[in-house]
Chain A
């Protein structure tokens, strides 16, 4: 799993690439938390490069969401594949982080959430 981050003011853009499972989750968590130190208020998580995700991904996303909320910040997901959306929907994450474009069913491909 590779993580590419770009900081613009208090906004952190982080693009994940590879397989997000229990094995990779710890490293992703550490990398995101380190990059979010020092005043990040908004995290935009780009999932376009995620080729596989199981429920470990739910834990990673909810964990970062809680950290940001505790400091009055927010989080957004972008380029969620239909398949990843299916897992995230089960946990209500798309409802939680949605609001900027809604997820539609029955179509493959990437979309902003």
Chain B
């Protein structure tokens, strides 16, 4: 079984949203996924990193966002973590259109997008103890080169 692992840590600034999703997609590209699968991963990672920056850290640029990517056979697992304020009610935060920042035109659809575009999505969070989102995707064997 092919295995690989990488970690990335970066400043909590919005410029790094594109960096994180590009790195995650480049890592997953080792399994020769379709363009559509790569776009799913890029989009889900973008949502998770955006949440870490604007919700976890309240846009504090001096904080650090962590991303850990792993390949185990055909499974890609991406964990996006912050050490920010955490989520008080994860179930509420997952509801479509729920947002704590409506005045910032946040849609409240981030978790729905992650859930829809990945095969697995888990949220671990506690107030004051940060949030880690685990995203998983099976990359179909017929696409492997």
Given contacts A21-B18, A90-B109, A56 and B39 within 8 Å (CB-CB): no
Are the C-beta atoms of A58 and B15 separated by less than 8 Å? Answer: no
Given contacts A21-B46, A87-B43, A90-B116, A58 and B107 within 8 Å (CB-CB): yes
- Which of A3-11, A22-30, A36-44 faces chain B? A22-30
13 example contacts (A-B, Cβ-Cβ < 8 A) are as follows: A21-B17, A21-B18, A21-B50, A23-B18, A52-B43, A54-B50, A54-B113, A59-B106, A87-B113, A90-B109, A90-B112, A90-B113, A91-B107
Q: How far, in Å, is A93 (CB) from chain B's closest CB?
A: 9
Distance of A87 Cα from B42 Cα, bound (Å): 13
Type the 1/0 row for A49-64, where 1 means its CB is closer than 8 Å to any CB of B. 0001111101110110
> Per DSSP, are chain B's interface residues mostly helix, strand or loop, or mixed?
helix
What total of chain A residues lie within 8 Å of the partner, measured CB to CB? 21
> Per DSSP, are chain A's interface residues mostly helix, strand or loop, or mixed?
helix
Interface residues in chain B, defined as those with a beta carbon under 8 Å from any beta carbon in chain A: 14-15, 17-18, 21, 36, 39, 42-43, 46-47, 50, 53-54, 96-97, 104-107, 109-110, 112-113, 116
The residue from A25, A29, A55 contacting B109, defined by CB atoms under 8 A apart: A55
Distance of A59 Cα from B46 Cα, bound (Å): 15
Q: Which residues of B contact A22 (CB under 8 A)?
A: 14, 17, 46, 50, 53-54
- Determine whether A19 belongs to the interface, using a CB cutoff of 8 Å to chain B: yes
